[in-house]
Amino acid sequence: PTPIIIDTDPGQDDAIAIWLAIAAREVIAIDCITAVAGNVPVAQTTANVIRILDCAGRSDLPVHRGAEAPLVVALETAEFVCGPDGLDGSGLPPPSRDADPGHAVEAIIARLRAAPAGLTLCPLGPLTNLALAMRLAPDILPKIERIVLMGGAIGLGNITPAAEFNMHVDPHAAAVVLGCGRPIVMMGLGVTLKAIATHEQIARFATLGTATGRSIHGMLTRPRPGGLGTAGHPMHDACVIAYLLWPELFAGRDCFVSVATEDGPLRGRTTIDWNGRLKRPANAHVIAEVEAHELFERMTGLLATLP
């Protein structure tokens, strides 16, 4: 199995991504999970990771608490999207334990150094922990097999007209990661807004008869004042794990990608040189298409195997 580190800010779609990775144990080996501030503050995202693992019977996986705030700008959270505790509707009980000792950034560095053949990094939130690890210990760079991240947008943003949430929250960290020179696969809104779980597909989670199924159903059907602006529920972060499992369901292009770091209406905007106008070397494989129906069939099949 491919060894990965999941860096995350749960977040409902983060929870689904983590459960998908756990369910795919024949293909993916989760080395550890690191939490970062994003959808909610880091004390809560850390607790949420443990709640998610408890529910799936994997409380044994190492969990490390990470950065409290972005590198430069103040933290902006998204309780209006994910509820006050980040996992609104999940019905998950409080965490069974505390995080493991050691900061997430130290854990990322140590685990990469210790991995003989390197690790794949799967960031599902703001890129603060990854950027700090790269700056503190550049020797880890060759050990990063690849980075498959959720963030950015080819078209419109979601948290602002211009920017996707993860890029907007810590644009300086995003700039460090985009410039790191390692292979990057970018799952931005250009594809994740095509990975919409329909109401029929969401309803199926309630019939699985499992704790994770009930939790997914609860999170995806809870009332949302104002709605999401989409017909079903986008599976942003789950696309990262799905790409590791079924890359044949996705299509994209190698592009040069930059991110706006200056404060103002463009902050966190990713500029994706889809047509190679800038003649700059590509730094990311930008995914733009997904076979959504098949994706959900396969995802539901795997998630159904969890407790």
Buried b or exposed e, range 63-98, using 16+ CB within 10 angstroms: bbbbbebbbebebebbeebbbebbbbbbebeebeee
Q: Min. distance of Cβ 13 from Ca ion in angstroms?
A: 6
125 contributes a contact to Ca ion by CB under 5 A: yes
| Locus of tokens 């019977």 | 57
Among 45, 90, 158, 283, binds ligand BDR (CB under 6 A): 158
**CB under 6 A: which stretch of 27-35, 160-168, 219-227, 257-265 binds ligand BDR?**
160-168
Picking from 117, 93, 107, 98, the residue whose alpha carbon sits closest to that of residue 34 is 107
Binding segment for ligand BDR (CB under 6 A), chosen from 11-19, 92-100, 257-265, 296-304, is: 11-19
Q: Binding partner of residue 78 among ligand BDR, Ca ion, none, CB under 5 to 8 Å per kind? A: ligand BDR
Site string for ligand BDR, 168-207 (x = CB under 6 A): ----------------------------------------
13 in contact with ligand BDR (CB under 6 A) = yes
CB of 280 to Ca ion, least distance (A): 28
Count of Cβ atoms closer than 10 Å to residue 59 Cβ: 15
Site for ligand BDR in 88-117 (CB under 6 A): none
Q: Looking only at residues 119 through 138 of this chain, which bind ligand BDR when binding is defined by CB under 6 A? A: 124-125
**How many chain residues are in contact with ligand BDR, going by CB under 6 A?**
15
Tokens 């890129």, residue?
127
Give the integer Cα–Cα distance in Å for 94 and 129: 25
Of 261, 202, 225, nearest to 13 (Cα)?
A: 202
Angle at CA of residue 240, ends 235 and 244, nearest 5°? 130
Asked about 236 being catalytic, the answer comes back as yes
Q: Which residue has the tokens 């999970």?
A: 33
* Residue closest to 256 by CA, chosen among 284, 287, 219, 221: 284
- Interface with ligand BDR by CB under 6 A: which range of 90-98, 159-167, 216-224, 241-249? 159-167
Catalytic residues: 236
Binding residues vs Ca ion (CB under 5 A): 9, 11, 14, 124-125, 237
